[in-house]
Structure formats: structure tokens, C-alpha cells
Chain A
Amino acid sequence: MRPLSPVLASLANVFRIPITRAPVRPTLTNEILKSTSPRSFSTTSALSKRKEGYRGDRRILLIRYFLHHPLTPRPLRFSRTRFLRHWTIHRAWNLYQANQRRTHELELQRQWQSMQAACEELRTGAGDGGKLFRKSMIKTGVFRDLVPIEYARLQTEGPGREGWNHEWKRD
């Protein structure tokens, strides 16, 4: 049997038409008779009687929402030609980066080798018995003084001419 629509059910209730289905809700009289609690009569439920529904901070609610949001992207799915195009660009980019890395390593190696050649020349060919060479190999202060903070700046597009504000005073 089809359940009655709410409108029909209320009409049936008003006109006291007996319905074969048992009433879904317990009737009010039964409820009152059965209840033995000393609670005063109220139609408001205990939960909605509270002053505010959610007592937490709304910011935390938002943070939790975004923190647990699954943001993992799906893997790239391409058809054959698009995948080949993508793969080609990817390989080319990797190759380019590897070339750049290689160039940089070679440059460092070149610098090191020319330093070595210069030091060897200083040691043997300077004619002072290697005094300058020994002086140049002294490393005191390298690890103690470190790099001056004025020089330790990250590169920028337009670096300031001064680089350091010497007139600055703490207020």
C-alpha cells in the first residue's frame, strides 16, 4: 500500500478517518502519560534550546575543512599524440636542465684546475722559496669570521647601490 501523503494524513487525522496503518508518531497522550520525568512541558528540544549551536571558532572550522580537503590531482591522462607531445617536451626540458647542470659543473672544475695551476706556479716559480704560497694557504679566520653579512645577499633584479644602510639606527 502506498504511504499517504502528509496532506492526506493530516486530513484523515482531522476528520478522524481510521487508517489501517499504525501511526508513525506516538500520540501526545501516550507520551505524557508515560513520561515520569519532572520536566516542564516544552516543545523545544534540549539541543535547540542551547544558546548557540556551534560553539567553536569559525576559523578553525574553515582550517579543518581545507586541511582535510583531498587535493591530490588525478594523473595526467592523454590520448596518444598528446601524450607524445607532452613526453617530448618533458624529455627536452630534462635534457636542457641536465646540460645546464653539466655546464655548471664543468665551469667549477675549470675554476678549481686554474686555481691549482696558479698555486703550483706560486709554489715553484715565484722565486721566493714558496713564502707567498705558504702565506696564501693560511686558513685562519675562514671558519671563524665567516662571510660578512654585507656580502651575503641573495641576488636581486635591481640591487641597491649601497647594499647596506649604514645610517640606520634603532628607534
Chain B
Amino acid sequence: MAASEPSRYLARSLPRALVPSSRHQALCWRRNASDQASSRSPSAAISDLESTSLSTSVSDDVVKSFKPIERARARKTQLPRSRYQFRSPKYDRGPLHPHRPPPPSDPSSRVFVPGPFSLPRVEQTWQSTVASDILTLLYVHNPPGFKPPPKAPRLRTWDESSPYHKNRPLRGPRGGDVLRLLRKPITFNNIPKIERITLHSYVKKAATENSSWLHVAGMALQAVSNVKVETFKSKTSVAQWHIAPGRDTVAVKAELRGENMQHFFGKLVDIVMPKLKDWQGVKGSSGDSSGNITFGLEPEEMALFPEIEVNYDMYPPKMIPGCHITIHTSAATDKDARLLLSAMGVPFYGKLVN
């Protein structure tokens, strides 16, 4: 773009007669990588493309019935002009507004994201191998006509021993107040799958020193993940670091889905994990008991990602952040998620806690 600027000004300053038309074929010295060499010679290309459509003869009745003006007049409502360009409204003002943005799947929408443009290796592996493996490993046979015995309700009622029990909310489950996710038997329609990956890094120095730490951390995460990062303020107060809740922006997060996620996971498993020194694997007790596994990477391990490695000089070395990687799977329990991840190439060590 910058190279074409002087010529534009030059053309404007010179009298029009001296400057040949910029559309002229011979002057078109710029060639993009996308167009072929043959497309520069129009006659050959046209004869190549349109030989059939030019040579075909149209029958007479078709020619006679072709009346574009009458057809246009017969229309109840006029078509938009050929140059008509639909501009999606910026804001959705609700169902009663006459002018609403199109759905995000529509190419004219402002939030339309084209793609996916590649078939990531992770997706392919899951489809061809991992899904049927897990399906086989976790198959539980029930004879036809089998009905599982009804279970007790998870939220218990109060025994009416006291008059104060009336209208109380139900009691929580035994052994804690947490209602765990229900694990349904794994069949062909609920095979665990990676849903999204969250990269998160807490940058302490962003509060104690200056914002450049946060910016470098965000840039590193963006480079690794191909997703715009979000920043977060501290929710807790850390007295030693002089961090106050709601005041200091201390964390960056990137949430990967779809294609970005698959490519990131592929890089993580294929490139970064084999290079980690003295790394046993992900700890077996990791996980939030609902199918999401978290582990962390140190700053020097983050630098092993190819995007950072090839451009290592771009970042001040001490500012490269470590990060937490949370892999959210569609499994309802940690053991299913661990089975899925181990089938995808993530090693686990230690006692496996569910």
C-alpha cells in the first residue's frame, strides 16, 4: 500500500493528459500472489473460460420471451439496485425494532466468522480413533428390557420431626453441599470431547510494577492462541504485593474454541509437551470433578511454543508469562476427561483422584 502512495500523488499533480489511465493493462505492474500468470493475458483466459457459453446458440423463443423491462415492471416490489449493499445495524434493539441484524451465520452479519478452513489433526484423530476407542472401552451392556432401579432423590426431604421443617428448602446431598454433575452412561451420542480451552495467566508484576508486564503477557498468549485476550482485575486483596480488589488489572485470559482450540491442543501435545524437561505429566489429582482438567506451564515452558520460539527476541525474556491451561471437556466426571486426554496424548502421573 505504501509503495503505491507516491504514484497516486504524482498522478494527481500531473495534468491529466500526461498520465495514462491507471486501468491500462500494460501499466499493471503489480501482481498478487493469488493470480496466475495466465490471468494477465485476458484474451487467452476468456477464450479458455467462455468458449462454451459464447459458442452455444440460443433458440428463438427464448430470445423472444426475454423481456427484461416488462419483467421488471411486472414486479410488485423493486429489487434492490445492483450496487445495493446491505449494512447490518450495529446494535440489536430487540424483537420489536423494524431493523434488526441478521443471524451470526449470515455472511452479511457483523459477527460472521467464516470457516473453518482446515481440518485439524486433533479433530481428525478424535473422529477416526479416539471416539470409537472410548465408546468401546466404556461400553456397559444392559440386556434388552433392562431398567435401572430408581435412585433416591439427590436432594433429600426433611423428616417432619419438627414443625419448623415445613416449607424448608430440600436438604443437600450426603457428605457435602455440592450437587455433582450426573454421569450418564457413555453411548454413541455423549462421547467425551474437548469443548474449549482456557489460557489464563496471573501477572503479579502488573500490579507491583507497571502495565508492560500485562501487555507482554497478553501478547504472548495472543500469539500462542490466536485469540484476543481479555484482561481481568483482581478479586482478592494481596497485602504483600499491594494488590487491592477491583483496582489492579492483574490477569489475562484467552478462551479458545473450535479451530483455534484444536490447533492449540495439537501444538501443546506434539511440540511443547515432548520438550518439557523433567516433566512427569499432568498431576492425577488435577480437575474440578466435573470434567475440566487444569495444569500449568512455567514461563520457560511457554517459550517452547513455536510462535514464541521463532520470535523470541520480540518479548523481553523475563516478562514472558507462565499460564494455566484449563481443558474443558464434555465429560461429566474427571475420570472420563482423563481417559479422553490420555487417548489424545496427555500423560498423567500420580494418584488419579476423581
- Interface, chain A (partner B; CB < 8 A): 56-57, 59-60, 62-64, 66-67, 75-81, 83, 86-87, 90, 94, 104-105, 108-109, 111-112, 115-116, 119-120, 123, 133, 137, 139, 142-144, 146-147, 149, 151-156
Contacts and interface: CB of A to CB of B under 8 A. Distances in A.
A120 B141 contact: yes
B244 interface: no
Of A59, A139, A149, A154, which is in contact with the most chain B CB atoms at under 10 Å from its CB? Answer: A154
30 contacts: A57-B316, A59-B315, A67-B215, A67-B218, A67-B222, A75-B88, A77-B85, A79-B83, A80-B81, A83-B86, A83-B107, A104-B127, A104-B131, A108-B131, A108-B189, A111-B136, A111-B188, A112-B139, A112-B187, A112-B188, A115-B139, A115-B141, A123-B141, A137-B141, A143-B339, A143-B352, A151-B343, A152-B345, A154-B269, A154-B270
Nearest to A115: B139
A6 to B, nearest CB: 26
A149 B273 CA distance: 12
A123 B82 CA distance: 69
A111 to B, nearest CB: 6
Contacts of A123: 141, 143
Which interface class (under 10, 10 to 19, 20 to 34, 35 or more) fits B? 35 or more
B215 to A, nearest CB: 5
Nearest to B80: A80
Interface string B117-156: 0000110110111011101111111011000000000000
A120 B222 CA distance: 52
Contacts of B106: 87
Contacts, number: 139
Given A147-B133, A147-B343, A66 B219 contact: yes
Contacts of A87: 106-107
Contacts of A60: 212, 215-216, 316, 319
Interface of A is mostly: helix
A143 B331 CA distance: 13
B188 A109 contact: yes
Nearest to A136: B141
